[in-house]
């Protein structure tokens, strides 16, 4: 068993998931503006340190994706953020792409950038304590989208990124996100997501990436947020499993879903059903941002010094999702 595979299995051990706390300064500013908290480096650090030191980090969170600002910050006790995360029994990770930009040749679509200088940045992040990384490609569904150009370009970038990350002895999270924005049906989402994921693995294999040493971070199969044809949660789970069984090579050890605009409870319920029906060899867990943090952020914003109260809310959401990653969640636990 490779060292990279061991890292994956440690991160996703016994229902543990990944806390996506890699919001850029711009995104974090929007979140804090939304709850009327000034977006200063101190406040961004305080909120994140509050979550990273919560009790259920140890039981439920196997990995934390950080942003460049955060991985270089010190806690109130003068430890580095990666040291705090490691002390809680979790694994520090880092977002390494530099964002989605307009795709030349298809101006309505995006290509993720950040390959220039990546090898050097990875070496720095490794020294800072990171042991896994994240790169997100985004795709839209519309009449002619995602285009072949978008599917091929983003798959190629994800594969080049992954090869560089493994060269630096870290685990790449491969995140091809088919956005739920739009009026498309779940069937259309299934078709496009399958095409996107298959192309990603074609490129990963071409670039000699060790599939046993990656984590796939896909969207669930959902109808678009403007679609009139909503489907039941059971159908979401079954279509998602069907897509992954047909698109993901068996060597991949773990899949950690993004929440992709779902509510906190909806993301938990769908993950739970996926695990109830899971007849694959894949570990099925979560890599959630807002679906783990939003309620805690709203509570915290009322009194940013109420650390215990904020952690209580975060602990609950982390516990619910870890139960869901084992198929053991039920709605009455949310009370």
Q: Which domains does the chain have, with CATH numbers?
A: 3-334 (3.20.20.70)
Residues 110-116: contacts with CB within 8 Å, 24+ apart?
110/138, 110/150, 111/137, 111/150, 111/153, 111/154, 111/157, 112/136, 112/137, 112/138, 112/154, 112/157, 112/158, 113/157, 114/161, 115/157, 115/160, 115/161, 115/164
Q: Quick one: pLDDT at residue 52?
A: 98
CA 95 to chain centre: 10
CA 261 to chain centre: 12
Please choose, from the candidates 172, 213, 221, 215, the residue with its C-alpha nearest in 3D space to the C-alpha of residue 196. 221
Residues 37-41: contacts with CB within 8 Å, 24+ apart?
37/300, 37/301, 37/304, 41/69, 41/73
Token pair for residue 281? 């060899």
Q: What is the dihedral of CA 234, 239, 242, 246, to 10 degrees?
A: -160
Return d(Cα 305, Cα 299) in angstroms, integer: 11
Q: Quick one: pLDDT at residue 71?
A: 98
> For residues 218 and 189, is the Cβ–Cβ distance under 8 A?
no
Annotation marks residue 148 as catalytic:
no
Q: Quick one: pLDDT at residue 322?
A: 98
Return d(Cα 289, Cα 296) in angstroms, integer: 11
The H-assigned helical ranges of 129-185 are 148-167
Exactly one of 199, 217, 264, 269 is catalytic; name it.
217
CA distances from 235 to 230, 240, 277 (A): 10, 8, 11
Please choose, from the candidates 84, 88, 95, the residue with its C-alpha nearest in 3D space to the C-alpha of residue 16. 88
Q: Quick one: pLDDT at residue 2?
A: 84
131 contact partners, CB below 8 Å, separation of at least 6? 7, 91, 92, 93, 170, 171
Exactly one of 175, 188, 203, 269 is catalytic; name it.
175
88: Cα within 13 Å, side-chain hemisphere: 27
Annotation marks residue 217 as catalytic:
yes
Helix axes 290-302, 307-324, angle to 10 degrees: 160
Burial class (CB in 10 A: 0-12, 13-18, 19+), 222: buried
Return d(Cα 289, Cα 297) in angstroms, integer: 11
What parts of the chain have a pLDDT lower than 70? 1
CB atoms within 10 A of CB 106: 17
Q: Quick one: pLDDT at residue 1?
A: 54
């Amino acid at each position: 068993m490779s060292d990279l595979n061991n890292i994956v299995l440690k991160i996703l051990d016994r229902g543990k998931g990944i806390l996506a706390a890699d919001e850029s300064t711009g995104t974090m500013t929007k979140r804090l503006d939304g709850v009327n908290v000034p977006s200063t480096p101190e406040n961004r650090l305080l909120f994140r340190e509050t979550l990273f030191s919560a009790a259920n980090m140890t039981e439920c969170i196997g990995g934390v994706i950080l942003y460049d600002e955060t991985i270089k910050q010190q806690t109130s006790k003068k430890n580095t953020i990666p040291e705090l995360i490691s002390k809680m029994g979790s694994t520090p990770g880092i977002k390494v792409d530099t964002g989605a930009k307009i795709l030349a040749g298809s101006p309505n679509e995006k290509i993720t950038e950040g390959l220039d200088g990546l090898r050097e940045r990875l070496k720095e992040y490794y020294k800072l304590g990171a042991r896994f990384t994240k790169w997100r490609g985004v795709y839209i569904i519309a009449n002619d989208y995602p285009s072949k150009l978008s599917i091929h370009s983003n798959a190629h970038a994800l594969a080049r990124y992954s090869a560089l990350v493994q060269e630096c002895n870290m685990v790449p999270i491969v995140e091809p996100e088919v956005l739920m924005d739009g009026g498309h049906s779940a069937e259309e989402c299934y078709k496009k997501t399958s095409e996107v994921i298959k192309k990603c693995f074609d490129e990963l294999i071409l670039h000699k990436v060790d599939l046993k040493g990656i984590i796939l971070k896909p969207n669930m199969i959902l109808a678009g947020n403007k679609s009139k044809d909503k489907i039941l949660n059971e159908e979401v789970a079954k279509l998602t499993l069907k897509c992954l069984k047909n698109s993901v090579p068996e060597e991949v050890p773990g899949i950690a879903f993004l929440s992709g605009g779902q509510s906190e409870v909806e993301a938990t319920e769908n993950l739970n059903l996926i695990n109830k029906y899971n007849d694959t060899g894949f570990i099925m867990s979560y890599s959630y941002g807002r679906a783990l943090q939003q309620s805690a952020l709203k509570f915290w914003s009322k009194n940013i010094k109420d650390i215990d109260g904020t952690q209580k809310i975060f602990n609950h959401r982390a516990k619910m999702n870890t139960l869901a990653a084992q198929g053991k969640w039920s709605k009455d636990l949310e009370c």
